[in-house]
Structure 1
Amino acid sequence: MNTATLAKPAGLAAADPAGDVALFRKITWRLLPLLCVCYVFNYLDRTNVGYAQLQMREELGFGDAVFGLGASIFFLGYALFEVPSNLMLAKIGVRATLLRIMGLWGLASAAMIFVSTPTQFYALRFLIGVLEAGFAPGVLFYFTLWYPSRRRAQVTALFFMAYGAAPIVAGPLAGLVMTFLNGAWSLQGWQWLFLLEGIPSALLGILAFVMLSDGPAQARWLSAPERQRVARLLEEDQAANGIRATHGFGAAMRDRRVWMLGLISFLAILGIYALSFWQPTLLKMMGLSVLQVGFYAVVPAVTGIAASIVVGRHSDRTGERRWHFAVAALVGALGLSLTTLFMHNPLAAVLCLALSSAGVSSAFTILWSVPGSILADRGAAAGIAMISTIGSSAGLVAPVMVGAIKAATGGFTYSLAILSAALVLAALLFVLAFPMRMAARETRCAR
């Protein structure tokens, strides 16, 4: 899968900015639409339980503790199998990996319609976590096979835009399905939600296997000169960033930057996982109906998408990562802090959550543009998976923490304050761990 093994005719490296723009636009249009749709369904299958619980509570008698543990146990399975899944991807390719991951997680998610006890709920949530492991970091590794580092923040932003756009679909879809299909064909609304979001995921896995290529060398839809051009640009990018192609699994695990990025990711996405699960409950506590909750959730999603695109594009254009991340994380913290002041005003609270979403989504985009600039080949696969594993372990903590604090205090104020503090710490660590020389080096690469 190493694109650097392609033959490179003499003189191919001559600068051709217009040609390169057209080439990478062609690649992006081939890869991104399908991968973004897959990511939307990844979000839906991961977080639909947050909406389903609004009906499952009454029918099954599950309380906050059951849902909090169920949300967290998903991430236990996810974290345990993240690295093995990504290492397997490096061996068998993205097509076979997406077929395996999406096909199995889609079927497991659809099987949630049969849940009737907490034990069944926990078992299926754990299984879905195991089966989903490796999807997002696998795609991020896939991007390193196609895009030089100076182009990666923007394409990463476009990919994460799908994750940010998913709530635009998730909220209204959940509200409509659970309201208008409740009781249809002897199934409750929450059962229809799992079924209608699980089966398409399995079908998308088959489509990805048919439509995607494992790398530029296998892309028959590129001409031979185009494949060679991509190979040369990637090789030059690795050389400019001081990356050795022999950078392997062990080296990635010994790289302190991998562990620091993992810790920063953990702190930055605590709020993402907490709010993706508990935001529907938070809004419902303000007196909104299930349908209103779904549509109110659109506002933070839209702002997150817009901000991540703008910030990602500006970061790529300037070659600067450090302060783009720090400022975005601080904006996210400010939004969460302001939300605590408007817990009885749904409109104001949603606007504050939108501000937070803009900051956190942008920070997340910048964060994931960094690993591909410091790791290569199997080292990138292992390093990205390790960073994602550490970050995803926030999902073990966040839902349980928020649920426990809510049970103890009756609200979300203290939880939001803790999540805000975590974002401030993430900004500080990123500034200290990745000094200005990283920004300067990437700027040179961008020229």
Structure 2
Amino acid sequence: MASEALEAELRQQLEETRAALAELADQDASPEIIHLRRELEAVAEDVEAALLQLAKDILLRRLDAAAAKTDATLRPGNRALFRHTDGRIHLGLVESGAGADGLIEVSFCHPCMPCQLQPLRLAATCLTAVAPAALAPPTAAGASVLVAPQPGCRLWSRGRIEAGASASGPGAVLVRAASSSDVTSDDSKEEGTGEGPVPVTNPLGLASWEAHTRGVAGRLMVAMGYGGAGLGKQGQGQTQPLQTVVLTQGAGLGVAAPARKRRSGRQARRAKAAAAAAARHEDAAAARHQVEMETGSVGLFAVLNSVLGGPAGDQVGGRGSDAQGREHGSHPAPTEDGARARAGTSPSAGPGLHAGEAARARRRAQAARLAALDSAEARVRGLEAAAARNARDPVMGPRARAALAEARQKLDEGRVAAARRSASAAAADSLHRDWAKF
């Protein structure tokens, strides 16, 4: 009653505050009016928060009262009904009250399967207390009953009353076979129609260790057919885990990536070498074909004609001088007759395709020799100046003199080699003139 009076008072105060705000809304916006309006809005917010808190307290007290009433009816030793994971409603015996986790321990009154011999821990909302008067067994003929187990057995059997009990004697009960001991008449009808047991739609009835079975997501999963780990009529979820297949990146279901054979670079190197050899053979064939086209002959006669003064006769001097130059480590020096042959003025050596190339090679070799001699002479001059500067230095003086002697020796060797190559080039030019005259 006190809470109801307080709630009525707060509602009246909220209505008065809202009426005052409505009156101030029609007046002019002056600083005093604006300040007063803000104070009234703050008062209205405080009153609304107080009303909300009061309503919450009233609701919590009602829930506590309902829970206390439920706990009173589910005391240890009382009977309660609950729905098991097989979809059937069973009768259980409350073993202990709610613990720290809020769960009540319940055992099956009539266990029919081995998995029902162990007690369960269920929430109070999953249990429904029943009165002892409602637990009277049926006596009519044809009704399904549970038969007490035989000595040495803890499992109950399902049967059907054939003859009802009367004052003259007891009734007769037909016990079903063990293979169908867990199937009732209702279940046989469901199997005939293709339907199964009543589906589980309440996630609170699932295993307590599954945290995902609580809330909206758990109810959706149960509605879609998820049974949870360790669930099922025979507890098969504990021994039949889910089979998973690890897929490769970018592959979908049923797609297996083909196995790739890793290869080294040996095959690539072989292919590159084969391509280079084929290119060399093609170049050699093209050169032979060019000589044949220039001389007008085929095979060995084309080579002889080119050597003895054909359109490419200047190759005699070029090839001979190149061979001699390679023997001495350099190319031959150009001569006057060679210059006339390259220019196309020699009477015996007509203009050919290879004459220009040979001339450019001889010029490059001569320029390289001159540049090497100039570099050697410049090094000798620099070392002479360094030796003169460090003549009195006990450390740098000997080193400079030794380097100078080595540089002078290399310069002398280079001059001798250049003279020898010039002589070889002159001999080659003379041989070329003799062949041309012949």
Compute the TM-score of the two structures, normalised by the length of structure 1: 0.19
Higher share of residues assigned strand: 2
- Which protein has the larger Cα radius of gyration, Structure 1 or Structure 2? 2
Compute the TM-score of the two structures, normalised by the length of structure 2: 0.20
